[in-house]
Structure 1
Amino acid sequence: MAPYASDDSTTGGEADERQSRRRKAARYVVPVTVIGVAAATIGLVPALADSGDPDLPEITAQQLVEKIAKSDVEQLSGTVKITTDLGLPNLGGLESGLLSGAAGGGDGSSADPTVRLTELASGTHTLRVAADGPDRQKLSLVENAAEYSVIHNGKDVWAYDGTSGEVYHGTGPQSPKAEKEQPPTTPKDFAEEVLKAVDDTTSVTVDGTARVAGRDAYKLLVEPKQSGSTVGAVTVAVDAKTGMPLKFTLVPASGGSAVVDAGFTKVDFSRPAPSTFDFTPPKGAKVTEEKDAGKEFGKAAEEHARKGGHTPESGKDLGEGPDGMKTIGEGWNAIATFDTGGEGVPSGAGAGGGALGDFVDSLGDKVTGRFGSGTVFSTRLVNALVTDDGRLYVGAVTKDALVKAADAGK
């Protein structure tokens, strides 16, 4: 998006006031994009049609969950297809710029996983994955003629952008970028996230069998018992032999196509060649070290603070949640809430007027209640309410559930 042009007919004071309103409006686009990324860590839908239902021995839901938990697959290679349809508004590329800026990508590396792997939050993507134990993994995002790869080999974590030729490097098996900020990418990753939420508010059953990537599998069906959740059902196709999830499907309560789709199209459980995990930066490539990227983020945060924005508290881990965050409700209806320190979402003239004001208004729905008034930003899975006094309520729940939570908070 092109920068806003100044109006030569305005005074300096008027121009400053208009720029201030625009900055306030722009920062509220962030919840919409962040919701999309957060939703990508909750679930996914079938990439391939099942090729027949195999005849397998009967198994209970508890036995199948235990089979997943006991799965000890550490060596594999294969191809995963992911399709995500969160119903996010088309921001014309603005969302990628905001996420890049939030991660320090504006002055960092195009190979930074923090920025690049957010692409999985929308559209269809093909990944090539390989693993050889806890110390060696590789993920390649195949886009047109170029690839983007993240390679973990021993103490090194490398990321390479084949389009720009840039390289990103972190060290240590517990690299913060690799461990904290990399979203789930395989059916197993997503299944583990959902199974953590299984409690008395959840129905878990076995829903037949399937053939996935040429292998026999059981289908585990996970459904919320509560009303008010935007999650309709989750299906996990579990390899009958190894217990490893091969496909993950999440369908929204509103119906229609699945929200996301992660499934193996090919999988091989033999050990990958050791050379799979070798990486040497190409000659002349720009190499950004993780610690240097952190410095760039710090500089950007300081500059943002000087211009009137907020900056994280000194010494606070940027991966941690906001101070004062609370959880309302339980199970699938849990809602996270905290004070943003802002003034709610500006609209119309408050957002700069004209086309910009109309754009901000189009991103959310105005709501009212005992709490006052606010704006709800919606996707097909995760919704967020920002009240006019700066309180945020977010969860995989309906708009009405958010309003009730805000009313109860008063």
Structure 2
Amino acid sequence: MPRNEPTQVTDGWDGGRSPGRRKAVRYAVPVAVAGVAAATIGLVPAFAGSGSPDLPKISAQDLIAKVAKSDVQQLSGTVRVSTDLGLPSLPGGAGGFGGAQGGGKGGDGASAAPQNKLMELASGAHTLRVAADGPEKQRVSIVDKAAEYSLVHNGNEVWAYDSGSNTAVHSTAPDAGRHGKQHRAPKDLPGGLKDATPQDLAKQALKAAGDTTSVTVDGTAKVAGRDAYQLLIKPKQAASTVGSIRVAVDAANGVPLKFTLTPKSGGAAAIDVGYTNVDFAKPAASTFAFTPPKGAKVVDGDKARAKTPREHGKDLPSHKDVKGLKKDMGGLNVLGKGWTSIATIKGDGSGLPSGKDQGAGGDAGKFLDSIGEKVHGSFGSGRVFSTRLVNALITDHGTVYVGAVDKQALIDAANAAK
């Protein structure tokens, strides 16, 4: 059979457009970047093996269609996640994230909360064991040297268990009571468990491909022992911080097996997520059965979720407050298109503290000065917070510009909006 060559280019393929509006978190730049990482990690499990099998030639359009048509809903395997976003160091190290959110308080279920575990995936290397049997049964376990964290969805039940604190949180899957049967994975499940199988999440990545993107089929590979085509996605826009995205697609069933994102600055992949082994047979029913170990602290997640707003309601902004805040900030707006889209939130005139400030704000300002670069333009001045992928400019007037673009693109956007 003729070997597949990297000559199939689709410059104008219209696979849809990325959403016109995206959520942004004002000032919380390191946390926002970590959230972007976690979301991206969920796109497609992958890990490259060795060898380049001979496969029939296929065009980029046909390979994308193969992914779109794939309907594999049963699988199990091991996934290796490696993330190097170049996030700025926070006081107390990486543990500062978890500790700030209730680390060590195993009894209240904080250590078993999915959002806390997602933060851990934003840096370093991790091993996951995954399994899925349709939209009603999924399981993922994050395994490290000292402990294991498992999240299990089985019909109308969701269990989260942290072996480190020996804490389990039990919840009822959303909509189970209203419809009698759970048809979609709960919205708070991370990565490939959220309302999708791995290939469905890959389709979301391909929606960004349009006239701002070059898509080619760049040879073949062996991934987790399976033959795969390599789809290469490259931004055409020079200001993008993304160098390329490489997705290995199973030649037999169209399931994405590899996702590697390399920044334009070069070096190691910023995100490399992948199967080290995968099996598309139906997992055993026992895979999705969970019973808390003896002595485990069991937390009723439904009660905790219902109780929290009542206890802390005074601290939560009202609907009126939120509307007023959006009005004061001018709302969220997106500038540009494609890979160089920049989300902006107009400030209220009060920017970040400076290291020169006296009093309590001085220490915060010194810390921000240490991780952010001071910049100037016709817009005035501000700080740029940088990672290997996502950069953010926060002006001294409080306006935020954030995107997967270089520093100059953010300054140009601020100057143009002046």
Amino acid corresponding to residue 37 of structure 1 in structure 2: G
CA deviation string 1:36-76 (max 9, x = no partner): 22133236899755311000000000000000011111111
Q: Does 1:328 align with 2:355?
A: no
Over 3 Å counting, the alpha-carbon distance change for 1:389 and 1:313 in structure 2 is farther
Other-structure match for 1:361: 369
- 1:274-293 matched pairs, under 5 angstroms: 274-293=285-304
What secondary structure sits across from 1:362 in the alignment? helix
Contact 2:77 2:279 in 1 (8 A): yes
For the residues of structure 1 that align with 2:199 and 2:172, how far apart are their CA atoms?
25
| CA distance in structure 2 between the aligned counterparts of 1:342 and 1:180, rounded to whole angstroms | 35
Matched length: 376
What is the SS of the residue equivalent to 1:348? Answer: coil
Residue 383 of structure 1: aligned partner: 391
Distance 2:156 2:369 in 1: 48
The offset of 1:239, in angstroms, is 0.4
Between the aligned partners of 1:82 and 1:276, the Cα distance in structure 2 is 22
Rounded to whole Å, the distance in 2 between the matches of 1:258 and 1:104 is 30
Once the two structures are superposed, what CA deviation does each residue of 1:315-337 show, in whole Å capped at 9, x if it has no partner? 979xx9x9811111001011111
Tell me the TM-score normalised to structure 2 length.
0.80
Q: Does 1:402 align with 2:400?
A: no
Q: Residues 237 and 189 from structure 1, CA distance in 2 versus in 1: closer, same or farther, beyond 3 angstroms?
A: same
Q: Quick one: structure 1 residues 127 and 160, their matched pair in 2 at CA, closer, same or farther if it must change by over 3 Å?
A: same
Contact 2:109 2:168 in 1 (8 A): no
The answer for the alignment partner of 1:87 in structure 2 is: 86
C-alpha spacing 1:384/1:73, structure 2 compared with 1 (3 Å): same
1:187/1:233 CA distance change after superposition, 3 Å:
farther
Aligned to 1:346: 353
Which runs of no fewer than 5 residues in structure 1 stay unpaired? Answer: 1-26, 306-310
TM-score (norm 1): 0.82
Q: 1:128 to 1:104 in 2, by over 3 A?
A: closer
Conserved? CA contact 1:84–1:261, under 8 Å = yes
Q: Is the 8 A contact 2:202 2:256 kept in 1?
A: yes
RMSD: 3.3
Q: Distance in 2 between matches of 1:384 and 1:184?
A: 28
Alignment CA distance shift 1:384-1:302 (3 Å): farther
Q: 1:75 to 1:315 in 2, by over 3 A?
A: farther
Any stretches of 5+ residues in structure 2 without a counterpart? 1-24, 177-183
For 1:165-202, what per-residue CA distance to the aligned partner results, in whole angstroms no more than 9, with x for missing partners? Answer: 11122322569994256245886465233212111111
Say whether residues 1:261 and 2:272 are aligned partners. yes
- Deviation of 1:284 after TM superposition, in Å, equals 4.3
TM-fit CA distance, 1:404: 1.1
SS at match of 1:110: helix
Q: How does 1:15-164 map to 2 (within 5 A)?
A: 30-42=28-40, 48=47, 50-93=49-92, 96-98=95-97, 101=100, 108-164=109-165
Aligned twin of 1:192: 203
* Cα gap change, 1:49 to 1:177, in 2 (>3 Å): closer
Equivalent pair of 2:161/2:167 in contact (CA under 8 Å): yes
Provide the C-alpha distance between the structure 1 equivalents of 2:315 and 2:100, rounded to a whole number of angstroms: 11
- Aligned with 2:319: secondary structure? coil
Where in structure 2 are the equivalents of 1:314-325 lying within 5 Å? 324-325=331-332
Kindly indicate whether residue 182 of structure 2 is the aligned counterpart of residue 182 of structure 1: no
Residue 29 of structure 2 aligns with an amino acid whose one-letter code is P
Matched letter for residue 80 of structure 2: K
Give the match's secondary structure for 1:121: coil
For residues 295-333 of structure 1, the C-alpha deviation after alignment (integer angstroms, 9 at most, x for no partner) is 56547865657xxxxx4636979xx9x981111100101
Q: Quick one: percent identity of the two aligned structures?
A: 54
